[in-house]
Structure 1
Amino acid sequence: MSIWRVKPVSAFEADMKKNDLKRVLTKWGLTSLGIGAIIGGGIFTLTGIAAHDYAGPALALSFVIAGIGCLFASLCYAEFASVLPVEGSAYAYAYGTVGELFAWFIGWNLILEYMMGATTVAVAWSGYFVKLLHLFHIDFPIWLCNDLTTATEKAREAGIEAPAFAINLPAFIITLIVTSILVKGIKEAAKTNNIIVIIKIAVVLFVIIAGAFYIDTANWQPFVPEETTTIVDGVEKVNFGFGGVMTAATIVFFAYIGFDAVSTQAGEAINPKKDVPFAIVASLIICTVLYILVSLVLTGMVKYDVLDKSAPVASAFAENGLGWAVFIITIAATAGLTSVMLVMMLGQTRIFLGMAKDGLLPPFFKDLHSTFKTPYKSTYLVGAIIALVAAFTPIDKVSEMCSMGTLLAFAMVCIAVMILRYKKPELERPYKTPALYLVGTLGVSFNLFLMYYVRAETWYAFIIWGVIGIAVYFFYSKKHAKLNNPEEFDRLDENRN
């Protein structure tokens, strides 16, 4: 009953053999899922917030910093994925190495990562969808496409009376649509994602190439604006300078979390031990290069302090008189954000599935649809929660909560992979992280360093979430864990030998 008990590798191998999910994903199909998750809210929405409020033209540095932190973690993820190619991602990796409580806490934070990630993207999707309708002279009332806080701010800016009630209806509806696609199955979801990813990459390349002709280098001066400090609602807020660049890095860090979603699809990969590590690293490198180039183009086209925070890419082209390009970018962003939601919600339900198989969550979360072979009950539940949160919560609040869960999970993975290399050096590793102890240590340090720059109110919410998670573990998960019956795993070891 120790909280540090680990799940035997033989048990993971048994899970893989009796896997009921359909194995249909190829190497490039997995890479496409990774790109589909990475390119989205971070590049189409959060670039505006991060540049306007925190980093200015130095947003490119924020992307470099966040990308380096992710690279260390991605190399560790890749080794784990080659050893334990099962659904559950970092949660499963920790369960097989460090111990049950450690694994539970990672899983609990991955819930925060994926659920808040999908919520952030749903709100971002709504912003671009409303902008798209506006291009066709169709306008939503403020109270019908924003949460109450955002609607009040926009009403104040427009000089009109603030609404007494507001709901982000487009965000609510798109979440329900994506939920229905996911219930139908991974093959259908992957096909939808592949089409959207091709459109997204084409438009991102268009933004980089076309936008480069409209860069005014004067907009990059000063590249790192002088640091300022303001008090907002009694909380000190650092803007620009080194502190602002680091805060922006914690915000745009959200833009990178898609690569770890690849590892949650191991149960549906045709050759997971080789293809999952490839897809993790490939998707991250491709998207990092694109992010840096886009951030330089945006802050070069428009002065950072006039960037539109809700739709920065489209507004940058509009400011330069390229109205026709706004149509292309807005349509692509709307479609692109849909695929991010799809992969985020897909990853969330697979983590639930892995935790439920181990008894740490109720059996409800592992029930598969008789026809589609998808965890349909948890998909419906996740969809309902995301739809409600997206309908009533500001985007900056949920994106930072998502980043907190991600940063901690990445740091824990870096620790866990070093422990596994030390404790079980004999395991077959189709992919081995180069200079692991250096890479792992840098990964832990880097992610904890970024957590230091997350705003205080986000820390408070994160601590509350963590306390709730530990309570759930001791009141339910520890009592129902399958590891309470170790003789079952002893039999697995005997059969394996």
Structure 2
Amino acid sequence: MANQLFARKSIDKLSADAFSEGAHSLKRTLGPVNLVALGVGAIIGTGIFVLTGSAAAEYTGPAIVLAFILAGIGCAFAGLCYAEFASMIPIAGSAYTYGYATLGEFVAWIIGWDLILEYLFGAATVAVGWSGYVVSFLRDFGVNIPPEWSNAVGIEMVYVAKTGAWTPITDQLTASLAADGVNIATLPHATGIFNLVAAIAIALVTILLVIGMSESAKFNNVAVIIKVGVVILFIMAGANWLFGHPDEAAANWTPFIPENKGGFGEYGWSGIVRAAGVIFFAYIGFDAVSTTAQEAKNPQRDMPIGILGSLVICTILYILVSGILTAMVHYSQLNVAEPIAVGIEKTGYRFLRDLIKIGAIAGLSSVMLVMLMSQPRIFYTMSKDGLLPPVFGRLHPRFKTPHVSTILTGSICAVVAGAFSVTELGHLVSIGTLLAFVIVCAGVWYLRVKEPDRVRPFRTPLVPLVPILGILVCVGMMAGLPIETWYRLLGWMAIGIAIYFFYGKKHSVIRKENNLE
């Protein structure tokens, strides 16, 4: 039974399939610049434009900088392991394929099912952040979208005249208003019905992805240039403000690590650990580069460049932005939909306000694009292995894109984006991605022991130290997430395991080839 469940794919056969050409093959159109841009496009988004503020306000205070460093270290270990696999097995499928080649079919299925949390639910999370910036941007021009149709189901909100915006009700908001002499019960209230703005965003990105990879990559390149430019503008404007207001900045950064309030994750060092797990979502994306391996011109050389290059660039930007933002604005005021825009308001450079929002909208658009591009390619590979129905492996006769799985993914994602909040989705995405990273790190370690002489165009340094550290840091961040998130992960995995035994196990191509019926 164990041998049946853990049948492994041949790495040699995978490598041969990766470079096969034909009517059912993905087109090779991506170079190293495209791959780095795709990575940056996936990484810089909700994390820097949305979660930075909420994580600082709820868990860490100014120590959000340390949380980003901790999350970045975990990603660096995992990124090195991904780079080795991506250069050695340059095929669509990412961690799913790597798991299949090292730890066997059952583990591969677990990863593939788990990656749905990262990509499909991740795209939905980003769409919710996109909605917040679009609504704010339109409000600046007098266009007000009803809060009922721009917030998740059941979200209770009040209209705050001071900010001119509908804001979700939280204990912090209630206390802040009370400090200003305002009774929250006297303010206009509204309840979210469905976030239609987020759902429309997903629909537009899905259409673009069906049309073609080359067109999607061009759109992403433009979006990346815009959002990286805007992030750099924010850093420059914020640094200029800090030099002019050192006393206020010092006050906002004091204490740097707020005292714990008595519960795990409520500031203090436990708050940093929890925030690292939450904002880990901000780093999700570098691994999405590996899902495009079959569309890279020279994957063995370019995949490590794309994965590690994008990770280094984004880590530097995250540390700078989070540090400057919490020095400019007291962390208690950052639990809003557009914290970067709040920071720009503080600088006095009002003309940059709309530019920042445009950059955020462009940035979040590119993240949605990369995530919704990645998920169908996981389905495509799983379908070719017989673990999902053949319909998931169909390519459009003209565009050569997995159009059926792209449309299905986009449809489900639009519903999820409209129904759930950033916090609910973000936690689930983080724990799912961390689990995938743990398995990838374990896979590199296992294969070095099992097949030490295999050719590796890129070699992870200091094995087994790097994989072990990657596993420990990722498990530590998983442990810092709320217990409810663990229950949801276990429930999701139970559904996936049931599907495997009822469908995947019976239709597995490798099991049929090896007579493991």
**CA distance in structure 2 between the aligned counterparts of 1:165 and 1:91, rounded to whole angstroms:** 36
**CA distance in structure 1 between the aligned counterparts of 2:341 and 2:168, rounded to whole angstroms:** 22
Task: Give a deviation string over 1:280-306, Cα, whole Å, max 9, x none.
Answer: 001001100000000001001101001
Q: Is residue 361 from structure 1 mapped to residue 363 from structure 2 by the alignment? A: no
Correspondence list, 1:315-394, <5 A? 315-394=342-421
**Which segment is superposed worse, 350-359 or 210-219?**
210-219
AA in 1 matched with 2:76: L
Deviation at 1:155, TM superposition (A): 7.0
1:198 to 219, 225, 229: 225
Correspondence list, 1:234-273, <5 A? 238-273=265-300
Q: Is the 8 A contact 1:155 1:162 kept in 2?
A: no
**CA distance in structure 1 between the aligned counterparts of 2:213 and 2:220, rounded to whole angstroms:** 10
**SS in structure 1 of the partner of residue 398 of structure 2:** coil
**CA distance in structure 2 between the aligned counterparts of 1:47 and 1:164, rounded to whole angstroms:** 25
Deviation at 1:161, TM superposition (A): 5.5
AA in 2 matched with 1:255: A
AA in 1 matched with 2:197: P
Deviation at 1:213, TM superposition (A): 1.8
Deviation at 1:144, TM superposition (A): 1.4
Deviation at 1:425, TM superposition (A): 1.9
Deviation at 1:374, TM superposition (A): 0.3
**CA distance in structure 2 between the aligned counterparts of 1:306 and 1:313, rounded to whole angstroms:** 12
Report the counterpart of residue 423 of structure 1 in structure 2. Answer: 450
Report the counterpart of residue 145 of structure 2 in structure 1. Answer: 140
Q: Is the 8 A contact 1:52 1:309 kept in 2?
A: no
Task: Give a deviation string over 1:353-390, Cα, whole Å, max 9, x none.
Answer: 11111111111111000000000000001101110111
**Which segment is superposed worse, 297-306 or 18-27?**
18-27
**CA distance in structure 1 between the aligned counterparts of 2:348 and 2:313, rounded to whole angstroms:** 30
**CA distance in structure 2 between the aligned counterparts of 1:111 and 1:464, rounded to whole angstroms:** 14
Deviation at 1:320, TM superposition (A): 3.7
Task: Give a deviation string over 1:9-46, Cα, whole Å, max 9, x none.
Answer: 23313421335111000011101000000000000000
**CA distance in structure 2 between the aligned counterparts of 1:162 and 1:134, rounded to whole angstroms:** 18
Q: Is the 8 A contact 1:361 1:477 kept in 2?
A: yes
**CA distance in structure 2 between the aligned counterparts of 1:322 and 1:117, rounded to whole angstroms:** 32
Runs of 4+ with >6 A deviation: none
Q: Is the 8 A contact 2:238 2:347 kept in 1?
A: no
Q: What is the TM-score with the length of structure 2 in the denominator?
A: 0.91
Taking structure 1 as reference, are residues 449 and 165 closer, same or farther at Cα in structure 2, changes over 3 Å only?
Answer: closer
Report the counterpart of residue 444 of structure 1 in structure 2. Answer: 471
**SS in structure 2 of the partner of residue 425 of structure 1:** coil
Deviation at 1:159, TM superposition (A): 4.3
Unaligned runs of 5+ in 2: 159-166, 170-183, 243-248
Report the counterpart of residue 7 of structure 2 in structure 1. Answer: 5
Report the counterpart of residue 214 of structure 2 in structure 1. Answer: 187
**CA distance in structure 1 between the aligned counterparts of 2:500 and 2:335, rounded to whole angstroms:** 43
Report the counterpart of residue 164 of structure 2 in structure 1. Answer: none
Correspondence list, 1:478-497, <5 A? 478-486=505-513
**SS in structure 1 of the partner of residue 265 of structure 2:** strand
Q: Is residue 34 from structure 1 mapped to residue 61 from structure 2 by the alignment? A: no
Q: Is the 8 A contact 1:46 1:309 kept in 2?
A: no
**CA distance in structure 2 between the aligned counterparts of 1:441 and 1:164, rounded to whole angstroms:** 46
Taking structure 1 as reference, are residues 434 and 169 closer, same or farther at Cα in structure 2, changes over 3 Å only?
Answer: same
**CA distance in structure 1 between the aligned counterparts of 2:347 and 2:450, rounded to whole angstroms:** 58
Report the counterpart of residue 92 of structure 2 in structure 1. Answer: 87
**CA distance in structure 2 between the aligned counterparts of 1:383 and 1:487, rounded to whole angstroms:** 35
Deviation at 1:98, TM superposition (A): 0.8
Correspondence list, 1:67-86, <5 A? 67-86=72-91
Deviation at 1:165, TM superposition (A): 5.6
Report the counterpart of residue 102 of structure 2 in structure 1. Answer: 97
1:276 to 297, 303, 327: 303
Report the counterpart of residue 494 of structure 1 in structure 2. Answer: none
**Which segment is superposed worse, 7-16 or 453-462?**
7-16
**CA distance in structure 2 between the aligned counterparts of 1:121 and 1:170, rounded to whole angstroms:** 12
**CA distance in structure 2 between the aligned counterparts of 1:370 and 1:363, rounded to whole angstroms:** 15
Report the counterpart of residue 109 of structure 1 in structure 2. Answer: 114
**CA distance in structure 2 between the aligned counterparts of 1:11 and 1:380, rounded to whole angstroms:** 30
Q: Is the 8 A contact 2:15 2:88 kept in 1?
A: no
**CA distance in structure 2 between the aligned counterparts of 1:359 and 1:146, rounded to whole angstroms:** 39
Deviation at 1:436, TM superposition (A): 1.7
2:49 to 44, 56, 71: 44
Report the counterpart of residue 492 of structure 1 in structure 2. Answer: none
Q: What is the TM-score with the length of structure 1 in the denominator?
A: 0.94
Deviation at 1:488, TM superposition (A): 9.8
**CA distance in structure 2 between the aligned counterparts of 1:368 and 1:441, rounded to whole angstroms:** 39
Report the counterpart of residue 217 of structure 1 in structure 2. Answer: 250
Q: Is the 8 A contact 1:69 1:443 kept in 2?
A: yes
Q: Is residue 398 from structure 1 mapped to residue 425 from structure 2 by the alignment? A: yes
Q: Give the percent of matched residue pairs that are identical in Structure 1 and Structure 2.
A: 48
Report the counterpart of residue 413 of structure 1 in structure 2. Answer: 440
AA in 1 matched with 2:254: Q
2:261 to 228, 235, 239: 228
**CA distance in structure 2 between the aligned counterparts of 1:151 and 1:372, rounded to whole angstroms:** 43
Q: Is the 8 A contact 1:73 1:440 kept in 2?
A: yes
Q: Is the 8 A contact 1:133 1:139 kept in 2?
A: yes
Unaligned runs of 5+ in 1: 231-236, 490-497
**CA distance in structure 1 between the aligned counterparts of 2:378 and 2:266, rounded to whole angstroms:** 36
Report the counterpart of residue 175 of structure 2 in structure 1. Answer: none
**CA distance in structure 2 between the aligned counterparts of 1:159 and 1:242, rounded to whole angstroms:** 38
Count of aligned pairs: 483
Q: Is the 8 A contact 1:113 1:405 kept in 2?
A: yes
**SS in structure 2 of the partner of residue 95 of structure 1:** helix
Q: Is the 8 A contact 1:148 1:163 kept in 2?
A: no
Deviation at 1:423, TM superposition (A): 1.2
AA in 1 matched with 2:74: G
Report the counterpart of residue 17 of structure 1 in structure 2. Answer: 19
Q: Is the 8 A contact 1:151 1:166 kept in 2?
A: no
Report the counterpart of residue 168 of structure 1 in structure 2. Answer: 195
Taking structure 1 as reference, are residues 31 and 297 closer, same or farther at Cα in structure 2, changes over 3 Å only?
Answer: same
AA in 2 matched with 1:147: A
**SS in structure 1 of the partner of residue 5 of structure 2:** coil
Q: Is the 8 A contact 2:258 2:268 kept in 1?
A: yes
Taking structure 1 as reference, are residues 160 and 266 closer, same or farther at Cα in structure 2, changes over 3 Å only?
Answer: same
AA in 2 matched with 1:90: A
